[in-house]
Chain A
Amino acid sequence: MQSNLNNTTLRIVFDGDLLSTNVDSLRREIIAVIGSHPGTKAIAADLSNCRLVDSKGVNLLIALFRESQNRGWAFSAVNPTPDVRRLLALLNLTERFGLSNPN
């Protein structure tokens, strides 16, 4: 997982799939990244490398969304692959995740 802070937006780039096997470690990494970027006002979760996302993976994104809500930050998922976009659409999460722009 990589991250960078652009102005106040913390961009989190996942290296691969979001699956039950790696969600717990990712959650810990994200907590650490957020802690190291105090100026953050928004989170952008870059899903361009995610081919597969299972229910726990979706829940990680929901947790990130809820975390942002709790902190009063904006949250968006960006660059989803087609399957991931479809999955989020079926679950009616695209609007919540700010997926207004395909790219």
Chain B
Amino acid sequence: MLGLFVQEAGEHLETLENDLVSLEANPNDSALLNRLFRAIHSVKGTAGFFGLTPITNLAHVMESVMALVRDGRMAATRDLINLFLAGSDKLKAMVLAPDHAADISTLEERTALHALLEIEPPAHVSTEERAGLPLHLSAFNIDPALVRNSLEHGYNVYVVRLNLATDIEAKGQTILDYFRDIESLGTLIDSATDVSESGGLSEEVTGKIICSLLFSTAMEPDLLLCAFNLPPEQLTEIPSDVLRDWVKSQPTVVPAKSVAVTPPAAPTSPAAPKAPQPAPPAPVAYPHPEAAPPREETLVKAPPVASSASPAPAAPAAVSRAKIDETVRISVSLLDGLMNLAGEMVLGRNQLLRIASATGRERTLSSTGLDGLPEVIQGISGVTSELQRTIMRARLQPVGGLFGKFNRIMRDLGQKLGKDIRLETVGDDVELDRTLIEGLSDPLTHLVRNSADHGIEPAEDRVRAGKPAHGQVRISAAHLAGRVQIEVRDDGRGLNPEKLKAKAVEKKLITPEQAARLGEQQAWQLIFAPGFSTAAVVSDVSGRGVGMDVVKTNIERLGGRVEIQSVLGHGMAIIIRLPLTLAIIPALVIGCGGRHFAVPQLNLQEIVRPGPERPIEDFGGSRILRLRDELLPVLDLTKLLGLPDVHTAECPGFILILKLDDRRFGLHVENIADTEEIVVKPLGRFLQGNSFYSGATLLGQGEIALILDLAGIANGRLPPETARQATQTTAAADSERILLFRDGSAETYALHIANIGRIEKVPTDRIERIGGLDYLRQKGGPTLRLLRLHDHLPVAHAGPLPAEVHVIIPRLVDHPIAILAEQIIDAADLPQGALDGRSLKAPGILGTASVQNRLKVVIDLYGLLQAAGITVATRPGDLTQLRVLLAEDTAFFREAVRRGLQGVVQTLDLANDGEEAWQRLHSGHYDLLITDLEMPRLNGFELTARIRGDAHLKNLPVIALSARDSADFQERARVAGINHYETKLDRERLCKAITHLLPDSHS
């Protein structure tokens, strides 16, 4: 029963909080006020039923004040709403732990609320009325209403004797401050100062003044003495029966009904208003807690309240019953139990289907006497699926319940930060599995707080930027392609990529070189780096450098993805995409080491088979798969799980290409078994600490399979996000990732990884020297001509070869050639600007670069091939009259294209970015622009768009060079007006593209 109370009161308090926040904007909404009153009233009533006095006491006084507001006798000011919200927080805390409710102090809230009820000055009480009081109370002029109220709430009443000089001033306090402090602990019913000590002006004036206080409080004597900083002899407790007898003899105060009340900022002293004050408000007689009416309805959610000024009208019985029929409260554990049973049924169905399928393959079912069984199984299968879907629906909850709490959070944040922030929620009725709703709470809270703290600018900045003074944060939910999309969007300052990069460099999360290479979107991703925070001042709202990485991790754990959108100066959005449920998911069942594992299909993008065409290469100890110009790290499941390695040339296994957020990687597995809808079961306690598995399931054949936790598997085993992006841009975009190797001399060479097709380790005895040239015999493949660098370049001579060597097979070269390397050292970044093309100039050498504190010779692959007498260039048509402008911000690529087109075209001018290219286009005549797409200042898309809008340049052919093989980029290029999109570093294709493009364009 108590559990039911916790649940129901919790719901009332949720309503209360949201409605209080709404009340601030709609202070006269009578429906809202009635709902508020009823929520408090219900909590009080049920708490009273269970004898939870601390909850009843607070709810009682809140209800009384709310009645004043509802009746239009008190204004719903911001201070009052703050007070109610504070009270609501305390009620929540007590309701969550009703057994320990008494441990939670509500004195502050009750005192403040009481003060609102009791600002009526006590009626003058005649000496006769004071009759019956103990002698030591006769000095006080006591208001019976205050004493009655104290008794009703079970407060203690004390007489406190103070010497103002020694008990207050000698302890460093002023009298006013001291009284202010003690008034926060209870109610000062009256005070009396003894003036008889003074004989007049003829005597020396001392500071000694004895003042007695009549004080009502919930505090016990020991505690009160501590608070008052007094010795015990100065405190006397008045027995409650003495006071009760006296109160009984006093007439009841009749409440007045006319005066509007605005709550004061601080509790008002009851003693102070004794002096006549202008228009004092009336005291309020409010019902005794125990006299609360019974609960109105507990099984149905509160129906919308009709606009009415009458307090909490009871719903007609028939309507109430109808509501009960529509909605039944079910415990979550029962629902989980049903879901489990449905899961078991799905598993049973899967097994049945498998057996039926196996039996059907062996012989016809009719021959087994099971005629008609397939139809029955089909029927059971359909019903099972429907049952499972229905129960899943029952687990869905509207996301509005979660969104509702942000009203309060945003309100409090706005006040704390001094910003006017308006919160809008959209899609409150979108339903999500309860597990997801629970999991979303913390990440969304963090995002909302971030928006308020970092995103929304101070009002004056907003006005200066031409925005409304108030900020807007919008939380929305929507169904999108079988998933749920949740957005937290603000109209604040947006993300500043340069600022993010600077912060990341300052925090040593990335190097300045890496920062220089990061594009806008990559810079945004920095906010997810652990320990990253751009808050200049660490506040208690945000900026502690924790959070966004945790947000991302938590969302990924829920099977979701996080995306960022931002427009500098206009705001940003964090977009979360989630599956509808986590309970039953489609999965790929794979085999490894004789066991089966399930991989969520949500993360699976494709399956590839490694082989000679698509080898897994070893770069600096990392296993890499090159897939359509993208280098993907590959993790070997067999090795990770410590299973025996079974991958051979005959049985290469499969590589699952998986996507986690925007990270792609390969998972090398032994075999693919099946796809199946699996029921996610939690792991046993002994496996819960394992990061490889997120759950378990029972497969159709009855075997238990562990579900792989891909985030856990990838965690720490893939290059870090920023480093990965740098790696990705090696092949994909603009960074310069190089392979370091030695050829047997002391020299270390560097070759751009994008030039490399694959690397193989071969025994030296397969190398033969014929006619002064080295060749490698290959089983079933063409004989490779091997290039030794010292044969073709002015570099140190290498010594004899060891028993095994590496051969580096270039990509984008049709000839069967390879560079011979004695040792592969590492893969590294070539920092922007690190290439020195002047100190070592020779055909086949781009220059030198200091990498890892040593100078490396950077090889020009095409130059090397030419030096070796290998002609790979396609000299297409006659391009020798062409004047070409190249816009490229990366020195390496600039140099590579320049060398690639050297001698092919008449002129090749270089521009370091789009802006410079734009200037050059206006100062010279060009037949063709070759441009990179991602550049600082003006990118390739914008540059082309400008060209297409320029009367003189609009017909200029433009070729975009990018290694981003993404449909999005290609589409953007097409829209911008780019004529041809080509992969970087493919000289032959570039030449073909020019040949193909120019005749048409010229005409």
Which residues on A are within 8 Å of B, measured CB to CB?
A: 20, 23-24, 27, 30-31, 34, 54-56, 58-60, 62-67, 69-70, 83, 85-87, 89-96, 99-100
Taking CB atoms, residues of chain B closer than 8 Å to A23 are: 205
List chain A residues, Cβ under 8 A from B272: 86, 89-90
Shortest CB-to-CB span from B812 to chain A, Å, is 87
Known contacts: A27-B201, A56-B207. The answer to whether A87 contacts B176 by CB under 8 A is yes
Complex interface: chain B residues within 8 A of A64 (CB): 201
Given A83-B176, A90-B269, A99-B275, are A59 and B206 also a contact pair (CB < 8 Å)? yes
A30 and B201 within 8 A (CB): yes
For chain B residues 632-686, which have a beta carbon within 8 Å of chain A? none
Residue on A nearest B201 in the bound complex, by CB = A67
Is B205 touching A66 in the complex (CB atoms < 8 A)?
no
Q: Which of B833-868 contact A (CB under 8 A)?
A: none
B932 interface contact, C-beta 8 A: no
With A60-B205, A66-B200 as known contacts, state yes or no: A92 contacts B271, CB within 8 Å.
Answer: yes
Main secondary structure of the interface of B (DSSP, over half): loop
* Pairwise interchain contact B201-A31, C-beta atoms closer than 8 A: yes
Q: How far is the CA of A85 from the CA of B272 in the complex (A)?
A: 8
Tell me whether B164 and A86 are in contact (CB under 8 A). no
Q: Identify 20 residue pairs between A and B in the complex whose beta-carbon atoms are under 8 Å apart, listed by A's number.
A: A20-B207, A24-B204, A24-B205, A27-B201, A30-B201, A54-B175, A54-B207, A55-B164, A55-B168, A59-B209, A62-B209, A63-B198, A63-B199, A66-B200, A67-B202, A70-B199, A89-B269, A91-B211, A92-B190, A92-B274
Instruction: State whether A89 touches B274 (Cβ < 8 A).
Output: yes
Q: Let me know if B191 is at the binding interface, CB within 8 A.
A: yes
Do A95 and B198 form a contact, CB below 8 Å, given A55-B209, A60-B205? Answer: no
* Cα(A54)–Cα(B169), bound, Å: 8
B417 to chain A, nearest CB (A): 32
Pick the contact of A86 from B141, B208, B269, B276 — CB < 8 Å? B269
Query: Complex Cα distance A21/B208, Å?
Result: 15
Asked if B192 lies at the interface with its beta carbon under 8 angstroms from chain A, I say yes
Bound: A75/B157 CA distance, A: 34
Contact with B271, one of A24, A63, A90, A100 (Cβ below 8 angstroms): A90
* B141, closest chain A residue (CB): A92
Q: Hey, which chain B residues are within 8 Å of A27, CB to CB?
A: 201, 205
Contact assessment for B207 and A59 in the assembled complex, using a CB-CB cutoff below 8 Å:
yes
A75 to chain B: closest CB distance in Å?
11
Among B165, B169, B193, B269, contact of A93 (Cβ-Cβ < 8 Å): B193
Chain B residues proximal to chain A, CB less than 8 Å:
141, 164-165, 168-169, 174-176, 179, 188, 190-193, 195, 198-209, 211, 269, 271-276
Chain B residues near A66: list those with CB within 8 A.
195, 198-200
In the complex, which residues of chain A have a beta carbon less than 8 angstroms from the beta carbon of B207?
20, 54-56, 59
How far is B191's CA from A56's CA once the two chains are assembled, in angstroms? 19
Q: Are A56 and B205 in contact (CB under 8 A)?
A: yes
In whole angstroms, how far apart are the Cα atoms of A70 and B199 in the complex? Answer: 8
Closest to A26 in B: B205
* 5 closest cross-chain pairs (CB), A and B: A67-B200, A89-B272, A55-B207, A55-B164, A56-B207
Do A91 and B193 touch (CB < 8 A)?
yes
The answer to whether residues A58 and B201 also contact, given A90-B179, A90-B271, A93-B193 and a CB cut-off of 8 A, is: no
Give me 14 other A-B pairs in contact (C-beta within 8 A), A65-B198, A89-B273, A92-B193 excluded: A24-B204, A54-B174, A55-B208, A56-B165, A59-B205, A59-B207, A63-B201, A63-B203, A66-B195, A67-B201, A86-B272, A89-B269, A89-B271, A92-B191
- Complex: A86 Cα to B141 Cα, angstroms: 18
A83 to B177, CA, bound (A): 11
Q: Is the CB of A59 within 8 A of B198?
A: yes
A65 to B199, CA, bound (A): 10
Chain B residues with Cβ under 8 A from A85's Cβ? 275
Say whether A70 contacts B275, CB under 8 Å: no
Q: How far is the CA of A59 from the CA of B169 in the complex (A)?
A: 14
Known A66-B200, A90-B179; judge A95-B195 contact (CB<8 A).
no
Distance between Cα atoms of A85 and B209 in the complex (Å): 17
Q: Which of B174, B188, B190, B208 has the most CB of A within 10 A?
A: B174
Nearest CB in chain A to that of B196: its residue: A66
Report the Cα distance A34→B193, complex, angstroms: 26
User: Using Cβ atoms and an 8 Å threshold, which residues of chain A touch B169?
Assistant: 54-55
Nearest B residue to A53 via CB reads B175
In the complex, A70→B201 CA distance in Å? Answer: 10
Q: Do B198 and A87 have beta carbons less than 8 Å apart?
A: no
Contacts A55-B169, A55-B209 given; does A62 touch B195 at CB 8 Å: yes
Specify which chain B residues have a CB less than 8 angstroms from the CB of A87 in the assembled complex. Answer: 175-176
**Alpha-carbon distance A31/B201, docked complex (angstroms):** 7
Contact: B200 with A70, CB < 8 Å?
Answer: yes
Most central of A54, A96, A99 by chain B CB within 10 Å: A54
Determine which residue in B176, B179, B205 has the highest number of CB atoms from chain A within 10 A of its CB, and name it. B205
Verify A94–B201 contact, CB threshold 8 A. no
Whether B195 contacts A100 by the Cβ 8 Å rule is: no
Enumerate chain A residues within 8 angstroms of B175, measured Cβ to Cβ.
54-55, 58, 87, 90-91
Contacts of B190 in A (CB 8 A): 92
Q: Which residue of B lies closest to A52 (CB)?
A: B174
Chain A residues near B208 (CB-CB < 8 A)? 55, 59
A91 CA to B206 CA, complexed, in Å: 17
Question: How far apart are the CA atoms of A9 and B272 in the complex, in Å?
Answer: 27
Minimum CB–CB distance for A11 against chain B, Å: 17
Q: A54-B207, A59-B207 are in contact. Are A94 and B275 (CB under 8 A)?
A: yes
- Report whether A89 and B198 are in contact in the complex, using a CB–CB cutoff of 8 Å: no
Give the nearest-CB partner of B278 in chain A. A102
Distance from B682 Cβ to chain A, minimum over Cβ atoms (Å): 62
Q: Which residue of A lies closest to B140 (CB)?
A: A92
**Contacts of B195 on A, CB cut-off 8 Å?**
62, 65-66, 93, 96
Report the Cα distance A37→B784, complex, angstroms. 129
Residue of A59, A62, A86 contacting most chain B CB atoms (<10 Å): A59
Among B174, B193, B199, B201, the one with the most A-chain Cβ atoms within 10 Å of its Cβ is: B201
Contacts of A55 in B (CB 8 A): 164-165, 168-169, 175, 207-209
Min CB distance, B800 to chain A, in Å? 99
